[in-house]
Amino acid sequence: MLSKHRNQTIDLVKALGIIGVVFIHSLYNSATAELVGQIFRVAVPLFVIYFAYFLNKSLSKTESILECYKVIWRRLLNLLKPYLLFTLLYTFVFHQNYHTDPTKIVTVYLSGFGWSGQYFFIILFQVLILFPLFQKLAQQNKLALITFSLIIYIATCYFFWDSVATVNKISHRPFFYWAPYIVLGIILSNNSSNFRKISFGWVIFSLVLVPFEFKLLENIGSNGNVYLLPSILISSCMIAMYTIQNDKLLEKANSTLQRTSIYLSQRSLGVFLLNPLFLHFYKPHLATYNNSTHSLNLLLVILLTILTFVSCLITIELLKHTKLKSFVSN
């Protein structure tokens, strides 16, 4: 039976988002697929917004500071276990000539550069540790906090990314790049009715901005990080507000769509963790088609995405019957 209190609109977006993540990781020698993939870049910011949204909901039910920190600590441990397990696995799979130098271990294998998607855990660890501070600041002066985070966000993307080597090197891992998303998640969790109703038309328009800005930066030779583009910020915030404001959107939809959205949403973490492993083995076979047409390359990316996604889901179902179940479950 489907829960009446569950926001199935968020489930649908999370399901589409994790498919988009696998699509991005599957990209290979196709300009068309690359352009489509840029739209899916909103997935990770949306995951951060929803993470902050649901964490704030959970913390609002606590009755003491101690209980609040216990919830945060449990969330931290729940993320730390799969992070360490898959970091160990991918260190041996991807880095056969791995270094034993402590500096290399920290700066490469543990800091978000070890495997595709590892950086996301680094972001969430920072969010959890600093979340009480974000909650407090969001309550006291929302406008100042959002304005400050936006200034850093835009300045880093357009002025410092290409000119300051350190900024480029640490990439988008520092928490302050994600501050607008964290704050938005908290504010929406406290009272989403404070925001003007977002129409579906504006959501579509904001998504169109993403490949447009990507092509613009490509034409002027900018190497700015795609996750830090203003169009990504605008579209992901628009989608988040729309999904939270329209939590009953799927109530009249086909029950198969509802169940599929929930099913994929609940397995998004497992797919996120497992897809680099399957792509490591599947993707080299695409080299055979290196000189293929753009249409064929796009088709290959789509097929690779489907194959990888299905492989992840099958593996998750198998792991559910083992002690590793908690490592791949949301």
Question: What is the DSSP annotation of 144-192?
Answer: HHHHHHHHHHHHIIIIITTT-HHHHHHTT-SGGGGHHHHHHHHHHHHHG
Model confidence at 201: pLDDT above 80: yes
Span 15-31, mean pLDDT?
A: 90
Please give the pLDDT value at position 101. Answer: 59
Question: What gap in Å lies between CA 241 and CA 133, rounded to an integer?
Answer: 23
Q: Which residues of 241-265 are buried (b: 16+ CB within 10 A; e: fewer)?
A: bbbbbeeebbeeeeeeebeebbebb
- pTM for this structure? 0.90
Q: How confident is residue 128, by pLDDT bands cut at 50, 70 and 90?
A: very high
Residue at token pair 């939809």: 253
Please give the pLDDT value at position 27. Answer: 84
DSSP state of 203: H
Model confidence at 38: pLDDT above 60: yes
Question: What gap in Å lies between CA 183 and CA 159, rounded to an integer?
Answer: 24
As to burial, measured by CB atoms within 10 angstroms (0-12 exposed, 13-18 middle, 19+ buried), residue 98 is: middle
Model confidence at 250: pLDDT above 90: no
For 78-89, the pLDDT digits (tens) are 999 999 999 888
Candidate from 33-37, 157-161, 272-276 with smallest mean pLDDT: 157-161
Question: What gap in Å lies between CA 121 and CA 10, rounded to an integer?
Answer: 20
Q: How confident is residue 310, by pLDDT bands cut at 50, 70 and 90?
A: very high
Please give the pLDDT value at position 166. Answer: 61
Q: Give the contacts of 301 (CB within 8 A, at least 6 positions apart).
A: 23, 26, 27, 28, 30, 33
Q: How confident is residue 243, by pLDDT bands cut at 50, 70 and 90?
A: very high
Does 19 or 161 have the greater pLDDT score? 19
Please give the pLDDT value at position 162. Answer: 56
Q: How confident is residue 303, by pLDDT bands cut at 50, 70 and 90?
A: very high
Does 135 or 315 have the greater pLDDT score? 315
Angle at 148 between CA 146 and CA 154, to 5 degrees: 95
Model confidence at 308: pLDDT above 70: yes
Q: What is the mean pLDDT of the chain?
A: 83
